[in-house]
Homo-oligomer: A and B are copies of this chain.
Amino acid sequence: MTSLKDVAALAGVSPSTVSRVINGTMHVSVATRKRVEAAIAEVNYRPNLLAQSLRLQVTKNIGLLVPEIAHPSFNLVIKYIEKSASKRGLNLLICNTENDYRREAQAIDMLLRQRINGIIFSRVSDESHVTSMSRSSNTPMVVIDRAFHNEKIPNVILDNYHAGVLAAKHLLACGCTRIATITGSFKIGLSRERYQGFRDTIEKSGLECDPALVHEGEFSFENGVAGVKEFLTKGLKFDGLWGQNDLIAAGAIATLMRNGIKVPHDVAVMGMDDVQFAAMYYPTITTIAQPYQQLCEKAVDYIDKLTNEECIDPFQVRLKPSLVVRESTQKENNLF
């Protein structure tokens, strides 16, 4: 591959002059500039970013770690991180951790060897682990989507308590009086927070929050199915249901319908995240939207700021979710 030296030889100038033309770092006389540009075009010269990064001690690459690439919400995270990064001329290296802390460690190590500019963690698997990796390097890091307490690593998260509040308020406004919920694992803080906001709001309204109508499990379609099956098997009645993400909600809706229970006519169901298929389901799914775009934009912004050694303030951003009303909770417009 042609190098800067080749271009210089062709144009009859020194390598530094070519460098100056390319980077516009200093004034170069018009005549030589023309000659250099002609030479560059002639040999189709492409600067070697490896050499440049080595010399400058900076790269234009950032790393993104997600637990699972083909998951509708991480999918959106990837999309928006890429968008924000590319807007700033940064390139994205994607790593799938598969929720395995060993793969996570490997990925971080690889990224640090690449001397990338920053790492964004979506849903870190093991806090102490990332912490120890971060200690041995001063590469900018940001954690999104999960509260993370570390004096070096800022986080951009969602106000999950508020998400629970919004969900409960909406179901109450729909006239529901026996409200069920299917949650993610309570080992994960955000599941607990969502549930807390949800429960507090229902109880504040004067209704009780029946523990039997709470099903804890994973953030998956299958868990939505399992939750509804459990409620039905126990013969429990309910007229509203919140799944802590849209996958759960979809599983719940499908299972209710399969059992002859109509959504929203008999049970109003809502989800959370506002992933793409929420608007494509039948019925379309009412949901608590995460501001993914803002969240990702902020994360990349923080990497940028840390790179330039600007200070991060606030150190933990907590974004607000919002309600998106669709068919699955609109009892008045009965679909069936």
By a beta-carbon cutoff of 8 Å, the part of chain A in contact with chain B is 1, 44, 46-51, 53-54, 59, 61, 69-70, 72, 75-76, 78-79, 82-83, 86, 91-96, 109-110, 112-115, 136-137, 221, 247, 250-251, 253-254, 257-258, 276-277, 280-282, 335
Contact = CB atoms under 8 A, between A and B. Distances in A.
A109 to B, nearest CB: 7
A113 B49 contact: yes
16 contacts: A46-B112, A46-B113, A69-B78, A70-B276, A72-B277, A83-B96, A91-B110, A91-B114, A92-B93, A92-B95, A93-B94, A254-B280, A254-B282, A258-B282, A281-B282, A282-B282
Given A50-B54, A72-B277, A92-B95, 4 more contacts: A70-B78, A82-B96, A258-B282, A281-B282
A1 B114 contact: no
Contact of A76 (B70, B86, B115): B70
A75 B74 CA distance: 10
A250 B279 CA distance: 11
A129 to B, nearest CB: 15
Contacts of A72: 276-277
A277 B253 CA distance: 14
A82 B54 contact: no
B96 A93 contact: no
Nearest to A111: B91
A115 B50 CA distance: 7
Contact of A251 (B59, B254, B258, B280): B280
A53 B113 CA distance: 11
Nearest to A70: B79
Contacts of A53: 50
Nearest to A251: B280
